[in-house]
């Protein structure tokens, strides 16, 4: 990304990147990464979003991932709720964002939904989710167990270490162990949905190994504002990598609709 640095939020040092216009020049698209993600794993997506929308793109790495500060494990059951309600508002304040569209993948999508439903933030004009979860499904847990096997036997640790460095164990076990705990089975954020009144673009791959279309259906049925729900063909859990052109087109159209900004 064009500009990179660190933010101090509470006790954590969080890495961030920015591409495109600054917050006083155009709306800002705020990228929220998945449960094993970080700033670097967005690859060229921020620059492609700038080209497609004319907006600035800001991304940061949550504590416990990438080059940000580590966290103490185990993570609390409500770790995504704490991020959405406590950390994300401070991050938006720290970088001076004036008009925002949240764009979240997997855990990041869940964070976007909780923020949109749990924080009165007039800066946020809309939210995009990709493979977000609002409750736990059997297929979710099966996918997370398969990831544990890949970690132990198929080189997943080595692949993730390229992005997370010294945080690689913290990143993986903070996600994997938390979701597989017995007390996590009733994790749910549906009660935030009726309070969401900004427009949503909700995407999920038909072949998502971590969730079924019930996730999209629940969001569409319970959200208080307009929802554009899309199930993407030939796509599993990562729409950005598996259907990049379709995702960019859908986001560009959505951003234009909610901000009036065209590329």
- Residue pLDDT, tens place only, 140-180: 999 999 999 999 999 999 999 999 999 999 999 999 999 99
- With beta carbons less than 8 A apart as the criterion, state whether 263 and 52 touch: yes
CA distance 220 to 214: 10
Given this model, what pLDDT does residue 2 score? 84
CA distance 38 to 11: 19
Given this model, what pLDDT does residue 261 score? 74
Q: Supply φ then ψ for residue 19, to 5 degrees.
A: -130, 150
Query: Is cis: bond before 74, omega within 30 of 0?
Result: yes
Domain count, the chain: 1
Cross-strand pairs, 18? 3, 58
Given this model, what pLDDT does residue 263 score? 67
Given this model, what pLDDT does residue 251 score? 98
Given this model, what pLDDT does residue 1 score? 84
Given this model, what pLDDT does residue 71 score? 97
Domain that holds residue 238: 3-259
Which tokens hold the place of 31? 């990228």
Given this model, what pLDDT does residue 195 score? 98
Give mean pLDDT in consecutive 10-residue pieces for the chain, a chain of 263 residues: 94 97 97 98 97 97 98 96 98 97 98 97 97 98 97 97 97 97 96 98 98 98 97 98 98 96 71
Q: Supply φ then ψ for residue 128, to 5 degrees.
A: -115, 130
Residue 32 maps to which CATH number?
A: 3.40.50.1820
């Amino acid at each position: 990304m064009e500009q990179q640095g660190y933010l101090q939020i509470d006790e954590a040092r969080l890495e961030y990147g920015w591409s495109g216009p600054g917050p006083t020049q155009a709306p800002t698209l705020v990228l929220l990464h998945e449960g094993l993600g970080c700033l670097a794993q967005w690859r060229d997506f921020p620059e492609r979003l700038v080209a497609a929308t004319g907006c600035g793109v800001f991304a940061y790495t949550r504590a416990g991932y990438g080059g940000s500060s580590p966290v103490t494990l185990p993570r609390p059951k409500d770790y995504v709720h704490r991020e959405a309600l406590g950390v994300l508002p401070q991050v938006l304040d720290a970088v001076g964002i004036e008009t925002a569209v949240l764009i979240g993948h997997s855990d990041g999508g869940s964070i976007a939904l909780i923020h949109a439903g749990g924080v009165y933030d007039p800066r946020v004009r809309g939210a995009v989710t990709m493979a977000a979860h609002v409750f736990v499904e059997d297929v979710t847990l099966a996918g997370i167990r398969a990831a544990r096997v890949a970690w132990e036997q198929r080189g997943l640790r080595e692949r993730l270490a390229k992005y997370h460095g010294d945080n690689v164990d913290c990143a993986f076990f903070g996600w994997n162990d938390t979701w597989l705990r017995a007390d996590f089975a009733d994790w749910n954020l549906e009660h935030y949905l009726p309070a969401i009144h900004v427009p949503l673009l909700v995407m999920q791959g038909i072949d998502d190994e971590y969730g079924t279309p019930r996730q999209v259906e629940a969001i569409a049925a319970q959200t208080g504002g307009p929802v554009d729900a899309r199930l993407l063909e030939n796509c599993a859990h990562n729409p950005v990598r598996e259907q990049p052109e379709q995702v960019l087109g859908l986001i560009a159209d959505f951003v234009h609709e909610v901000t009036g900004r065209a590329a």
